[in-house]
Chains A and B, each alone.
Chain A
Amino acid sequence: GENVEQHPSTLSVQEGDSAVIKCTYSDSASNYFPWYKQELGKRPQLIIDIRSNVGEKKDQRIAVTLNKTAKHFSLHITETQPEDSAVYFCAASPGNTPLVFGKGTRLSVIA
């Protein structure tokens, strides 16, 4: 089955700097790659996703890139703000089986 590895497990950045979180997956059939943000004590919420026919997708300060050959995808957050502090999860799925999540990255944005 699918296996998703996520790095780093913790990340601290200064406000205004960029943050990058990376994930690798094992199943070459995976074609859907969402990212979730979970604030303390709250539910995971979908913030951006990408499908395998696209190499990059942007939404304001957030972007996701996908390299299918290397089987890795990344989340990029630019101009970080204190409200970006949360745990971020990547996930992957070939479409006919449920999402497999990474272990999460705790991002701290220091004002």
Chain B
Amino acid sequence: DAGVIQSPRHEVTEMGQEVTLRCKPISGHNSLFWYRQTMMRGLELLIYFNNNVPIDDSGMPEDRFSAKMPNASFSTLKIQPSEPRDSAVYFCASSFDTGSGYTFGSGTRLTVV
């Protein structure tokens, strides 16, 4: 198994532009999580899905953030418009269920200038 696959690995964009981050979870995993990591705030849960259904998006910082999971093998996190304070590493993780160990992707390092 290739593990959780995220793309792109790095993204540099100008303020105001739309950014789309992508994630392919491990086949057979029913739960998918989007986390944001910064030095100041650590690992923050943004949103999670069970069986492709969004369960809790209370961690999404603003309406500028949105996430979808159209099928069991693909999810996106979109930021529109992007702002410099969105600069962080965004991790996608998947697991069999919310109470199991997570496997993280390699992350996307986002820089908004």
Contact = CB atoms under 8 A, between A and B. Distances in A.
Given A31-B99, A46-B102, A96-B99, A89 B43 contact: yes
Contacts, number: 48
A45 B106 CA distance: 10
A97 interface: yes
B98 A49 contact: no
Interface of A: 31-32, 34, 36, 42-46, 49, 89, 93-104
8 contacts: A36-B104, A43-B91, A44-B43, A44-B104, A93-B98, A98-B33, A98-B45, A98-B56
A103 B43 CA distance: 7
Interface of B: 31, 33, 42-43, 45, 48, 56, 91, 97-107
A104 B33 CA distance: 19
B42 A32 contact: no
A93 B101 contact: no
A69 B33 CA distance: 30
Nearest to A96: B98
A95 B56 CA distance: 15
Nearest to B109: A41
A44 B91 contact: yes
A100 B102 CA distance: 12
Given A45-B104, A46-B102, A102-B42, 14 more contacts: A36-B104, A42-B106, A43-B91, A44-B91, A44-B104, A49-B101, A93-B98, A95-B99, A97-B56, A97-B98, A98-B48, A98-B56, A99-B45, A99-B102
A46 B103 contact: yes
B99 A46 contact: no
B59 to A, nearest CB: 9
B87 to A, nearest CB: 16
Contacts of A89: 42-43
Contact of B104 (A43, A94, A95, A96): A43
Contacts of B33: 98
A49 B95 CA distance: 14
A36 B42 CA distance: 13
